[in-house]
Structure 1
Amino acid sequence: MKEEAQTDKSGFIILPNHERYDEKRKVWNNLIDRYPAAIFECLSEADVISAVSFAKKEKMDISVRSGGHHLAGTAVCEEGVMLDLSKMNSVTIDKERQVATVEAGAMLGDIDSETQKFGLATPTGTVSETGIGGLALGGGFGYLRGKYGLTCDNILSAKMVTADGKLIKVSNDEHTDLFWAIRGGGGNFGVVTSFELQLYPVGPNVMAIDIMYDYKDAKEIFQKLDDYMNNAPDEISVNSIIMQLPPAPFLPESMHGKRVIAVSGMYTGELTHETEKAFIEPLQELAIPLMDNTGKTAYTDLQKKLDQMVPQGAEIVGTSLFFKELDEAMLNIIFESMENSPLPMAMAQIWMLNGRMNRVSADETAFAVRDARFLVLFDGEIVSGDPVGSQEWMDSVYNQLLPYSYQKTSYLNGVKLGEEITRNTYGDNYFKLAKIKRVYDPENLFCYNHNIAPE
């Protein structure tokens, strides 16, 4: 790799005096402000090997950037080596096998646009500007979770560079311990350079759920949603968001500043009069809708719909917890937190979990949370000039909800870093992960993540 030049075979090494250094060290959450000693902008697996070998020789920590979308800014390290994979973003489709080979720097939008050319899709997330690398390694929740599982459940194989600078392939037949670990264990074990992902027939058009209700009906809405999910088919996914509407030009002025509950999702099954009546209409009748834009839409458009809610450059705090039930006391904490939030913009999301993602056993992959029925995600912009106070408020929400949560587990792609959070979430899988970590990364070079210390 070259410091100030680029060839067809080699990427850049960007040092602190480089004109692009500040641009390249920035991630989605503008609250993160770290200064790596060197940024390796990789174009190939050889570049990744070079970067990892350099970091190991110099005894420097490593962070890896795919899309840079993690709340905690895990893509960028302080005084270590940052690997930027964003230009390793190719997507190749094998239509016959229904498999996508995806480089780890690809964005979800890159994957969707290529797979949809063949009427195929793989489960990913709900924001198209997210990188596949961190999403897949940490789980991957999207609209296909009920029908086809999480992103990590659909990894068929991966190529990765280990801490000793070796390029290996992991699958059900090769390095099976690592293959188990990367499906939910995060970036603890090396740098994944590419994935093979299972594809399924999806689109080009799907039924998109898009309804907005008045917040005053919140208790009735969530009671009905709870009942609905007891018999929901795998083909449906349902997300809800509690938020205060901004004064956006695309909204009627009467809606500006109004607190609402948005119910969104996707139905992937065959739409008949019977299925619409059984699975779509109940979601349109949770209360009296303020707006209802439910209807058929392009799958690629649905996958981009939430992009505007997570703009680049905002300063964000957030948290997450899984739940088994929508307990009344737990819901009241969510309602009161939203009503009394000091943050200028805050959202509470409650995602309903069902179907295939919950039929995987807890020890089949590193991703252990397979019995929860709900995922709660809080996000909000910090109070100007008070990141500490904003984080303390977010921590207080987490601590109030923790006693009601499912085994104190969090979605690690949407929560701050913390040893207790990590151990709680992996449960019994943590000890197996620690043993694997000891084998492949005994010096803990890959520590900018929900870190699993070598046993």
Structure 2
Amino acid sequence: MFSTLESKLGNRLVLPNHDAYDELRKVWNGAIDRRPKAIVVCESEQDVVDAVNFAKEENLHISIRGGGHNLAGTAVCDDGLMIDLSNMRGVEVDQAKKVAIVEGGAKLGDIDVATQKYGLVTPTGTVSKTGVAGLALGGGLGYLRGKYGLTCDNIVGAHIVTAEGELIYVHENNHQDLFWAIKGGGGNFGVVTKFEFQLYDLGPEVLAIDVMYDYQDVKSILTKAQEFLENAPDDISFNITAMMLPPAPFLPEALHHKKVVAVSGLYAGDPKNGESVIQPLRELAKPIVDQSGVIPYEELQKKLDVMVQDHIPVYGTSLYFKDLDEKTIDVLLNKLENAPVPTVLSQLWALSGKMNRIPEEETAFAIRDASFVLLLDVMVMPGMDEEVCKQWVDSLYADLLPYSHRNASYLNGIALLESATKNTFAQNYERLLSIKRKYDPSNLFRHNHNIDPK
């Protein structure tokens, strides 16, 4: 079956009997254990074309690995063909046009290193190990969302291998429908081998917000943060994280196993002008630790890496909220206080500024009117019961759904769920469906928050 593909790819085709197979099928989330029929480790766009054409001929469905960081483990499939882009990590910067040309396997850290040489940035996420492809195609929330929008808002072009095995270049004047669809529509439409992202002047030094409070003050912190958000300038984006600190060597012993609320973020303007602007976020309660200050942008982008360990089983969910009224806060906090394990990471990301001023129909990413998004993950450490953790996450989603905004979720932060997909694409769903039927009528690319063309 694979002999013709092997003749083209050689050792870049990895079958189940290959020594590297088990390592290559691993993804970030250790709860995912899937066995594709073959893995193609791509080194070039031609490799991707060959892989897609083979899958089409052999009637194999395709999963696409960029960074392999998706919660739902969509990079790897059972019984299909896994296209692995992780060796395609090149980043070129066109300083004159202020555009970064980024290969589909690049990670956020790759982009930051390349662009910061020129004092430039593009909005990405907050963990440098994340792959840019899945992040961008599903939205892309990061510390520049208020000033410059989402990652998907800053795609100005892309190379895509379609289900027909064609390599095409999409931008605002070429394949306009597909260009619109990849701005938040996920991996439904093809393999993006290269992105072009808009760049902006920022760095190398930026003003970071990094404050830690006692968990007992969580209610007043959420209330005051919401008040601050009402008049927050575009320059500020911030996240609120409730967690129990691990007994990690990099933490003072007094903080081991302590429940805290961390506020982290960025002032994306002149740091000298930002001190007074961020001050209210440093006074939401009495701080335990306040490390806010001017640091290199690259350092800020790596700060949360330590919290995101590889190959640990993780169950998570997400919901948007228009506002955090008392009932919503009470339901969330009651669930958190009755969590079955201590390894719960509960984040509320404040949403404002540029990302919310883009009209809903301008991109496939439809949720432009929420004030917060909940991103909740449970890490299942050795000795913990995976099924209990999964059931608790599902129950939290069910309990909070009636209070959510439009029953929608940030799709990069939730397991595959058809109702969540439809609710989140909202009024854009039918348009996405017609584009899916045009470019992938047989649903070759189905391992994603799928828009089923049938």
**Superposition TM-score, scaled by structure 1 size:** 0.97
**Which amino acid in structure 2 is aligned with residue 44 of structure 1?**
S
Q: Which residue of 2 aligns with 1:177?
A: 177
Q: 1:344: how far off?
A: 3.9
Q: Which residue of 2 aligns with 1:419?
A: 418
Q: Which residue of 1 aligns with 2:71?
A: 71
**Does structure 1 residue 390 correspond to structure 2 residue 392?**
no
**Which amino acid in structure 2 is aligned with residue 264 of structure 1?**
S
Matches within 5 A, 1:51-450: 51-272=51-272, 275-277=274-276, 279-382=277-380, 384=383, 386-450=385-449
Contact 1:11–1:47 (Cα < 8 Å) also in 2: no
Q: 1:11: how far off?
A: 6.6
**Which amino acid in structure 2 is aligned with residue 369 of structure 1?**
I
Say which SS state the counterpart of residue 331 (structure 1) adopts. helix
Contact 2:160–2:194 (Cα < 8 Å) also in 1: yes
Contact 1:11–1:42 (Cα < 8 Å) also in 2: no
Q: Which moved more, 1:252-261 or 1:371-380?
A: 252-261
Q: 1:6: how far off?
A: 11
CA distance in 2, matches of 1:355, 1:400: 29
Consecutive unaligned residues in structure 2, runs of 5 or more: none
- Residue by residue over 1:133-156, the C-alpha shift from the partner in whole angstroms, topping out at 9 and shown as x without a partner, is 101100000000000000000000
**Which amino acid in structure 1 is aligned with residue 96 of structure 2?**
E
Contact 1:4–1:12 (Cα < 8 Å) also in 2: no
- Residue by residue over 1:181-200, the C-alpha shift from the partner in whole angstroms, topping out at 9 and shown as x without a partner, is 01000000110100110000
CA distance in 2, matches of 1:27, 1:147: 32
Q: 1:347: how far off?
A: 1.1
Contact 2:5–2:50 (Cα < 8 Å) also in 1: no
Q: 1:385: how far off?
A: 5.9
CA distance in 2, matches of 1:82, 1:5: 14
Say which SS state the counterpart of residue 223 (structure 1) adopts. helix
Contact 2:206–2:271 (Cα < 8 Å) also in 1: no
Q: 1:208: how far off?
A: 0.6
- Residue by residue over 1:254-305, the C-alpha shift from the partner in whole angstroms, topping out at 9 and shown as x without a partner, is 21111110000000112346x422x111111111100000000000000011
Contact 2:244–2:342 (Cα < 8 Å) also in 1: no
Contact 1:170–1:178 (Cα < 8 Å) also in 2: yes
Q: Which moved more, 1:328-337 or 1:349-358?
A: 328-337
**Which amino acid in structure 2 is aligned with residue 116 of structure 1?**
Q
- Residue by residue over 1:28-79, the C-alpha shift from the partner in whole angstroms, topping out at 9 and shown as x without a partner, is 0011000000000001111001100111111111000000000010000100
Contact 1:157–1:172 (Cα < 8 Å) also in 2: yes
Say which SS state the counterpart of residue 365 (structure 2) adopts. coil
Fraction of identical pairs, as percent: 56
Contact 1:92–1:101 (Cα < 8 Å) also in 2: yes
**Which amino acid in structure 1 is aligned with residue 354 of structure 2?**
R
- Residue by residue over 1:306-354, the C-alpha shift from the partner in whole angstroms, topping out at 9 and shown as x without a partner, is 0010111111000001110011111112211221111240011011011
**Which amino acid in structure 2 is aligned with residue 427 of structure 1?**
A
Q: Which moved more, 1:197-206 or 1:373-382?
A: 373-382
Say which SS state the counterpart of residue 427 (structure 1) adopts. helix
Say which SS state the counterpart of residue 74 (structure 1) adopts. coil
Q: Which residue of 2 aligns with 1:30?
A: 30
Contact 1:334–1:348 (Cα < 8 Å) also in 2: no
Contact 2:340–2:388 (Cα < 8 Å) also in 1: no
- Residue by residue over 1:74-120, the C-alpha shift from the partner in whole angstroms, topping out at 9 and shown as x without a partner, is 00010000000011111000001000000010010000000000000
Q: 1:10: how far off?
A: 7.1
**Which amino acid in structure 2 is aligned with residue 448 of structure 1?**
H
Q: 1:161: how far off?
A: 0.4
CA distance in 2, matches of 1:348, 1:240: 8
- Residue by residue over 1:205-239, the C-alpha shift from the partner in whole angstroms, topping out at 9 and shown as x without a partner, is 00010000011111111111000000000000110
**Which amino acid in structure 1 is aligned with residue 340 of structure 2?**
P
Contact 2:5–2:51 (Cα < 8 Å) also in 1: no
**Which amino acid in structure 2 is aligned with residue 283 of structure 1?**
L
Contact 2:5–2:54 (Cα < 8 Å) also in 1: no
